[in-house]
Amino acid sequence: MAALNGVEARSVLEVLESNARLAPAEIAGMLGLEAGEVERLIREMEEKRVIIKYHTLVNWEKFGDEKVSALIEVRVAPQREVGFDAVAERIYRYPEVKTVRLMSGAYDLVVLVEGTSLKEVALFVATKLSALEDVLSTTTHFVLKSYKHEGVILEDGETDRRLVVTP
């Protein structure tokens, strides 16, 4: 258990966070550890849900299958004894919802939603999210373009060929 807080565990996590495809033996070589120790640390961190998921970041635009994303600011009425947790749980159970975070400031939750069209996302907001009893209001911001995601720059140097509009 103590190993999970150790320097070795932190180093393994940092390497995996930057490239989850590396084999334990490769990680061990990079960090000067034994492969068996790295395997044990990874297994232990998976069991304790320190490592929750291995993730592939896909640039769907390059694949030709663009998705529509929206950031939705949500104001909610917190429930007695559970605060925002109960409404956040109801929201994150929807498959369209990719992220839910409790925020400070003018709104309570920020929700990241993905769909196949503007209409699909708008229908989700109108019929599911806004319809929840504890939701007081929503403000939807559609993502027009992503430049960087999860620490990865998505641009590959292609020039934007749109005409510049000047007054």
Surface-to-core class of residue 134, CB atoms within 10 Å of its CB (0-12 exposed, 13-18 middle, 19+ buried): middle
**For residue 101, pLDDT beyond 70:** yes
The confidence band for 159, taking pLDDT boundaries of 50, 70 and 90, is low
Q: What pLDDT was estimated at residue 70?
A: 98
Q: Collapsing DSSP states into helix, strand and coil, what is residue 110?
A: strand
CATH number of 2-47, picked from 1.10.10, 2.30.29, 1.10.8, 1.10.3470: 1.10.10
d(CA 102, CA 131) in angstroms, rounded, equals: 19
Query: What backbone torsions phi and psi does residue 84 show, to the nearest 5 degrees?
Result: -90, -10
The confidence band for 157, taking pLDDT boundaries of 50, 70 and 90, is low
- Fold classification of 60-144 (topology level): Alpha-Beta Plaits (3.30.70)
Q: What pLDDT was estimated at residue 2?
A: 44
CA angle 143, 54, 125 (to 5 degrees): 30
Interval 102-136: pLDDT, tens: 999 999 999 999 999 999 999 999 999 999 999 99
User: If you average pLDDT over residues 40-52, what whole number do you get?
Assistant: 94
d(CA 110, CA 84) in angstroms, rounded, equals: 12
pTM reported for the whole predicted model: 0.76
Which DSSP helix (H) or strand (E) runs through 131? none
d(CA 98, CA 92) in angstroms, rounded, equals: 8
Domain ranges of the chain: 2-47, 60-144
